[in-house]
Amino acid sequence: MSQLGFEPSEADQCLFLHRELQIMVLNYCDDQIWLSPDNKLIEQHVQKLKDLGYDLELEPKGDIFGFLGIEFSTDSTTGIIKLSQVGLIDKVIKYTKTTEATTRDTPAAEAPLGSDKSGDPFSEEWSYPAAVGMLLYLSSNSRPDI
């Protein structure tokens, strides 16, 4: 990216900026989002990367529809972009075997749970840290309310 005049952002090393041409590239793993007021500049720079030997494929022109498991939808009236991760939410529900759980307005019990020192130890077929990791990924992208 530096050969093409891009600099990594100080805030995120995966965000590359070409300040002179007003192009931004967000690059995680094998997914990229290119943003510019001029689509021709994007096409030219992608071609330059291909000429350098990178195997890139452009999605059809249009709005962003997904990135790293995050789905994007745009309200045609307001232009507001909505992020969702329905696939990951479904995965968490299936992983923790909570498909039969009911919803509540208040996510936690109103009374303190206390402790049961003589009770049975926690035993589930799923990994608690893995479930928390999935929930943290959700909370940092499309569900800050959890």
Residue 12 tokens read as 């995120």
Distance CA 46, CA 54 (A): 9
Q: Model confidence at 95, in pLDDT bands (50, 70, 90)?
A: very high
pLDDT tens digits, 97-128: 988 888 877 767 777 777 888 888 877 888 98
pLDDT digits (tens, 9 = 90+) for 1-37: 999 999 999 999 999 999 999 999 999 877 888 989 9
Residue 31 gets the label, from left (phi > 0), alpha (psi -120 to 50) or beta, of beta
- Report CA-CA distances (Å) from 20 to 6, 32, 41, 49, 54: 9, 20, 12, 18, 23
pLDDT at position 62 is 61
